[in-house]
Chain A
Amino acid sequence: MGDNIYLPQLARVAHIKEEVAGERAIKTFRLEFDNGGGFEHECGQCAMLSIFGRGESMISIASSPLIRDYKQFSIMRVGRVTSAFHELAVGDVVGIRGPYGNSFPVDAWRGKNLVFIGGGCGLAPIWPVIQTAVAQRADFREITVFYGGRSPRDIMYRAELEKLRGAVDVHLSVDKAEEGWDAFCGFVPANLMAKQPAPDNAIAITCGPPIMIKYVIENLRSLGFKDEQIYTTIENKMKCGLGKCGRCNVGKDYVCVKGPVYSWAELKELPAEY
């Protein structure tokens, strides 16, 4: 038999950071490979992570492709596998196979303004693009990041977002007003309309809950962004990651192969089954 495409590599949990506590807890896991293992990836690609005895789950790679020593994943505790991840300790060993899917066409965006719009744990899939753009800051023009959570306690990458200021315009928001919060109060699409980024020579990249993405795209279009200027990443339920198991099938596409990154011009041609 040829390569065993379902056999994961082993990776060690090198670092765990609690991003968000509570019922929508998010933790960031740094995974390191032993003995020269691992793989290269591009911005927007995913990996199938597993905890033996619990199963596999497809997670966006949240670290920059420029970092070779480890891969980072920000995981919200929602299901069987992700809950098991939240029980892990540093030193534990997990399974990983990938990378899967296409990627954001970052090279084609050099010389452009970039507008990132994230919500909830949807900042993680677009974070490698933000990291790459900041690392190669001179290649890009204005960079703007909109990001919102339900409450101030739901804001992930808080310290990293603050560090971006100066190089990047950061516009945070929370859904509900709360004592001590002095940035925008309201949903992410509303914050976008309040700041009105210009569409000229710009690319907008959005990820978040499906309902947020829907209104962000509507608002971007009303601001004059063309369908080809809007990118998102969709993540349907996946089992194989290899375009065979049928779980992520939307129209003729297997999202794990043709996606997860789509321009709105491409995505609007598919059935809205995501």
Chain B
Amino acid sequence: MEALLDKNRLKDWIAALDGWEAYAPARQDGIWSYQPAGDNPELNHPNTPQPPKGFAFPQREIFFKFEQVKGEAPRLTAVSPAPTFRVVFGVRPCDGRAVPRMDRVFSDHVDDGYYQARRDGLAYVGLACNTPPSRHCFCQSVGGSPVSTDGLDVLLTDLGERYFVAAVTDTGKALMQAAGALLAKPGAAERKEVARLHAAAVAQPQRGVNDAAAAPAKLKAGFDSPLWEELARACIGCGICTFLCPTCHCFDINDEVTGTVPLKGSRVRTWDSCQFPDFTMHSSGHNPRDTLGSRLRQRVSHKFRYFHENFGMHQCTGCGRCVSECPVGIDIVRVVNEIAGSV
């Protein structure tokens, strides 16, 4: 299903999505982030510093509340995400490709009901990158593309005054059907223009991982390389690479106490990071990954080796955030290439 939408009618399409909460990138204090779609949503953003992963996997969520009067059994009250239908506009293809990867993690072995409940009501309307890539983008070297539809329900392509709207999934078709007469039928000229723009986007030069297919074997061979410590030497362990990564999913579970008599509190899940030294530290003090190099190796190997060994695809989608936002300039592309080049 394909159609044309005047850009200035985007707000009308959103208004027509009965029962859906719509989100779109908005600029606040100079920073782009996903916000409830306003009256004049502007999708043509450089990618948001924070990926949209929080829609299905919020940074903090309560599993259950507990209350205990001393000497009595605790009372537990489960907290479940309210069923909602949310549609996120303007998702870039690299972040779209993160969606099936996160789905794999949270459904592997056993379904995570919290993730699943949020994911079930989520739809992603992507926007093809038909402007030159940023200097940090490397989606094509990791199997992606600036016009990839992976993980998206609809893909928009910017034609200047209009969007070319293409459904990817049945959910995407339903979203388009809700637009009714707002959507116009595209002609051969528009289809040809989209094909030209997509081909031009793919032809744009990008930096990248030299040979992603070989990365799992190369990283295995280079596991004991002294380069890891060298490449990690500047790391300050802030964890921003993992917090801003669209596919990093590690989390912590803790009890937050809000009252002591009677005991009251919540068991809470929060994002966590393999870059923190206490992430793996045993209570005894023994730490299996006790150096900066071993923690950099874990992050990079998870993206380019372990995930591939488990699911047959790289976990990294080449969005470039861990590169552009790292305060000390650690570059995952350079790390993979240097380790691979050393073995």
Contact = CB atoms under 8 A, between A and B. Distances in A.
A171 B221 CA distance: 42
B66 A53 contact: yes
A249 interface: yes
Contact of A52 (B116, B255, B301, B309): B255
Contacts of A271: 223
B306 A251 contact: yes
Given A4-B63, A53-B265, A79-B283, A240 B223 contact: no
Contacts of A2: 111, 113, 116
Contact of A6 (B257, B265, B267): B267
A249 B284 contact: no
B76 interface: yes
B106 interface: yes
B253 interface: yes
A14 B263 CA distance: 22
Given A10-B74, A93-B73, A252-B309, A246 B249 contact: yes
Contacts of B283: 78-79, 82
Interface residues of B, number: 53
B124 to A, nearest CB: 21
A272 B269 CA distance: 28
Interface in B87-127: 105-106, 108-114, 116-117
Category for how many chain A residues contact B? 35 or more
A272 B112 CA distance: 29
Contacts of B106: 244
A246 B223 CA distance: 19
B310 A252 contact: yes
Contact of B288 (A1, A4, A5, A274): A274
B282 interface: yes
B174 interface: no
B207 interface: no
Given A52-B68, A245-B272, A1 B80 contact: yes
B263 A53 contact: yes
A4 B80 contact: yes
Given A1-B114, A4-B63, A257 B251 contact: no
A239 to B, nearest CB: 5
B199 interface: no
Interface in A1-21: 1-8, 10
Contacts of A245: 250-253, 272
A240 B115 CA distance: 14
Interface of B (DSSP majority class): mixed
B299 to A, nearest CB: 10
Contacts of B255: 50, 52-55
Contacts of B113: 1-5
Nearest to A34: B73
A243 interface: yes
B109 A246 contact: no
Nearest to B250: A246
Contacts of A226: none
Contacts of B111: 2-3, 5
Interface stretch (B188-196, B231-239, B273-281): B273-281
Nearest to B260: A53
A254 B108 CA distance: 11
A4 B253 contact: no
The 10 closest A-B pairs by CB, nearest first: A246-B250, A79-B283, A78-B283, A273-B288, A252-B309, A52-B66, A1-B80, A6-B63, A243-B109, A252-B306
Given A4-B80, A10-B73, A245-B250, 17 more contacts: A3-B113, A4-B63, A5-B110, A5-B113, A7-B64, A52-B66, A52-B74, A52-B76, A53-B257, A78-B284, A239-B252, A243-B108, A244-B251, A246-B272, A247-B280, A249-B274, A271-B223
26 contacts: A1-B116, A2-B111, A2-B113, A3-B113, A4-B64, A6-B63, A6-B267, A7-B63, A52-B76, A52-B263, A53-B263, A56-B253, A209-B284, A237-B279, A237-B281, A239-B252, A239-B272, A242-B110, A244-B105, A244-B112, A245-B251, A246-B302, A249-B274, A251-B309, A271-B223, A272-B288
